[in-house]
Structure 1
C-alpha cells in the first residue's frame, strides 16, 4: 500500500469469515469489529452474511457480501484477487482471517498487497493425511497467530513448529454485561422454565451445545439414568440445534425412551436467551469427549455464577478451577474424565448435594474468575494490541480510554 502507518488516524481492519450465522468465531469477529470502531478505526467484514449481520451493523462494522464459504480451489484463487482488489480500494491496513478456506485467499491477497496478515486459530482441526494438514496449516501462517487458549497454542506449536514469539494466547471473551446474574430478570428465567416444562421445585442440569456426538449428549443421558433414583428433583436440559444431524437427534430421543427418561431429560432445541438458561440452572455440564479449543459454555456458565462440571480435556482445565490445580476450597467447578459415567455420577451427586450457601460461594468465585480472565473487553484489548504491534498504531489505548 505504501502508506505511512505510524501516523494512521483511522486504521482499516478487514476480517474474513465464511458466514455470520452463529458460533464463537463469528461472535468474535463482531466483537473485534466493535472494538476497532470504538478505537477510531474502520471495520470491514467479508462474509456470506447470516443472522448476525444486523448485529455487526449495530456496532458500526461494514459487511461486504463475499463468497467466503467456498472451498473450491479455483474459486479460492479468484477470491484472492477479489480480496486484494477490495483491500486496495478500501485502503485496508491489515487482514485478519478466522477460517481455513477463506484464509488461503486472504493470505495470498495480503502478500500481494504487502499487508500484515493475522489469523485466529479457533478450533482443533482434525489432521488425517498430508492434504488436510496442508489445508489446516494456513491458520498458522499469520504474521501473528492468535490462539484462543494455551491448549490451542501448544497444538499450533507442535503441529507446525510455529515459534512462540509469533503466537499470542487471547482467550475467548464473555460479554459480562449480558452474562450478569444481576440483569437477568426472574421473568426471563420463568419464561424459559415454563417453556421447558420445568416445575418450580425442580432443579436443572443444563448441557448447552449443538447436537453432535463429540459434545457428549449421549453420556449426559447415561449419567441421568444413573442418578434418577437418587436425586428426584432434577431434570436434564439438552439445549442446542441439530444443525441437520437429524439421525443423531433421533438417536438421543431413542436413548431417552429406552432408559425411561422421558420426564427427566429434554431436548429443547436452540435457546436464544443463554444467560437466562444458565441463571435458571443449578449446574452446567460440559460433556465433550473431544478437546474443546476454548469451551465457551463453561466460561459463560461461570459468568452467570453457575457451577460447572466439565470434561478435563482441551481448554476447560484453563477455564474451570478445580483440584488439583487449586484447593477444593477455591474451586469454581469440577473436572471429570471424558466418557467416565461412574465419575459423572459421583460428581453430579456431589454437586447436587451442595447447600444453597456452598453453591452460591462457588458461583461467586466462578464469576470473579471469569471477570478477571475471560471478559470480552480483555479479548478486544489484547487483539487490538496485536494490530498495534503490526501497524505501529495505538488503538488499544484509545479503546481502553473509552471504557
Structure 2
C-alpha cells in the first residue's frame, strides 16, 4: 500500500512525535483489523508513533512489518468483573507509551479504556464500525459508551443516521469517514496472469462460464440463501457461483446451503470455498460480484474492492451499499429481500456486452479512486486526530 509521501501533519508543535494508540478486541482477519493496520501505517507516515493494543491474532504480523508497537491485553473480555484488572494493566501501558491519543474501535474496549484515558488526561476518538441498534435499555447504555469520546467517527452516513436517531448530543463531534480500499493492491493492472491461473486451477473453475462471486463470512445475514433463490430464477443460462468464505462455516451452515441449492436445481452450479488470501486475483475471475446482505451492511468493503477491480456489483438497496454503488453505472441495487429483483440485477450484469463492460469497469475504478481510497480514509482520520490533539492542548493551556 502506498500512501502520500511522509508529512508532518501529526507532529506536535514542540517537535515530538505524538503517540496514537488504537484499541480493538483482536487482530483477526476482518475489515476493522485491516483498517487498524492501514491507520498504523498512516500514523507513522504522517509523523506519529503507532501503538495497537488487542488480544492478538494473525494480523499482528502486519503491524510488526510496519514497525508499529503491539501490546497483547485482554481488552476483548466481556466479563465486567475482569475489567478493573485489565484497566489497570492498560493504564500502565498508556503511561509507559506516553500516549497522546487513544482511538477505540469497539464497545468492550470502550468500557475498559475510557476510564483509564480519562484518569490520565488522554484525548480520545472512537469509530463506530457496526450497525448501532439498541433493542433494549441495557443495550442502549452498553452502546452509548462508544460515543463518550472527544470525537466519534462513523464509517457511513447510514451508521451516522442510526447514531443520531437514537442518541442526542453527538452531532457536533460526529464525522463520517468512509472506509477505504487499497487501490494499489486492488488494481487489475497489478495482478499478473500467474496469480489468476493459480486461483482458477485451485478451484478447478470451468472455462468460458460466467462467474458470479459472493465473498463473505459464513453467516446467514450475508445473503447466501437469497442468492441461491435468485440464481434458481436464472438457471436456464450458464454460470458458476463461487461463495468465497462460505466453506469456512459450521457444518450445519454448509449443509443447509448445499441442501437448499440441490432443492432449487442448482447442483453443480455453485461452490462453497474457504476464505482466500489473494482476493484481487479472485475478483479478476468474477463477471459479477454479489453482496446480497439481508441485513443492511454498515458499509461493505467488498463493494469497494470489486469496483476497484472494475467488476460490477449487485447488492440490495439499503445500508452502506447505497453510498458506494452507483446504480446503473458501477453496479445494480435490487429491492431489499426480493429474490426476483436480485435475479433481474444479476441478469443485467451478466448481459453486459464487451464495450459496456469495459465502460463500467473504467467508471467503477475512477469512482473508487476519487472517493474511497485508503489514502483518503487515512488522511481524513489523521486530520481528526490533529484537531482533537490541538483541542486537548488548548484545554490544558487554559487550565495552566
TM-score norm. by structure 2 comes to 0.92
What is the aligned partner in structure 1 of residue 80 from structure 2?
A: 73
Aligned to 1:61: 68
Offset at residue 243 of structure 1 (A): 5.7
- Distance 1:120-1:373 versus aligned 2 partners, 3 A rule: same
SS state at 2:233 partner: helix
Aligned twin of 1:273: 278
Q: Label 1:156 to 1:126 Cα distance change in 2 as closer, same or farther (>3 A).
A: closer
Question: SS of 1:202's equivalent?
Answer: coil
**Deviations 1:293-317, CA, capped at 9 Å, x for gaps:** 1100011100000011111111111
Match of 2:150 among 143, 146, 149: 143
**Is residue 298–residue 320 contact of structure 1 (8 Å, CA) maintained in 2?**
yes
Q: Secondary structure at the match of 1:288?
A: coil
Corresponding residue for residue 397 of structure 1: none
Unaligned runs of 5+ in 2: 1-10, 392-400
Equivalence for 1:115: 122
| Range with bigger deviation, 112-121 or 193-202 | 193-202
State the superposition RMSD in angstroms: 1.6
Quick one: distance in 2 between partners of 1:182 and 1:125? 38
- Corresponding residue for residue 5 of structure 2: none
| Aligned counterparts of 2:128 and 2:248: Cα–Cα separation in 1 | 23
> How much has 1:5 moved relative to structure 2?
5.6
Q: Distance in 1 between matches of 2:386 and 2:254?
A: 45
Q: 2:141 aligns with which of 125, 134, 140?
A: 134
- Paired residues of 1:140 and 1:162 also in contact (CA < 8 A): no
| Distance across 2 between alignment mates of 1:7 and 1:245 | 54
Q: Give the match for residue 398 of structure 1.
A: none
Residue 399 of structure 1 aligns with which residue?
none
Deviation at 1:6, TM superposition (A): 3.9
Q: Provide the TM-score with structure 1 as the length reference.
A: 0.91
1:41 deviation in Å?
Answer: 1.4
- Is the CA contact 2:314–2:333 (under 8 Å) kept in the aligned structure 1? yes
Shift, 1:259, TM fit? 2.2
Q: Displacement of 1:75 after TM fit? A: 1.4
User: Counterpart of 2:59?
Assistant: 52
Structure 1 counterpart of 2:394: none
Match of 1:347 among 336, 345, 366: 345
Q: Which residue of 2 aligns with 1:181?
A: 188
Distance of 2:291 and 2:103 partners within structure 1: 30
Are residues 194 and 124 of structure 1, via their aligned partners in 2, closer, same or farther at CA, if it must alter by over 3 Å?
Answer: same
Alpha carbons 1:210, 1:242 under 8 Å: kept:
no
CA deviation digits over 1:60-107, x for unaligned, max 9? 211101112101112122222222221111110011110110111111
Q: Which residue of 2 aligns with 1:37?
A: 44
What residue in structure 1 maps to residue 166 of structure 2? 159
Question: In the alignment, is residue 388 of structure 1 matched against residue 370 of structure 2?
Answer: no
How much has 1:209 moved relative to structure 2? 0.5
State the shift of 1:164 in Å: 2.3
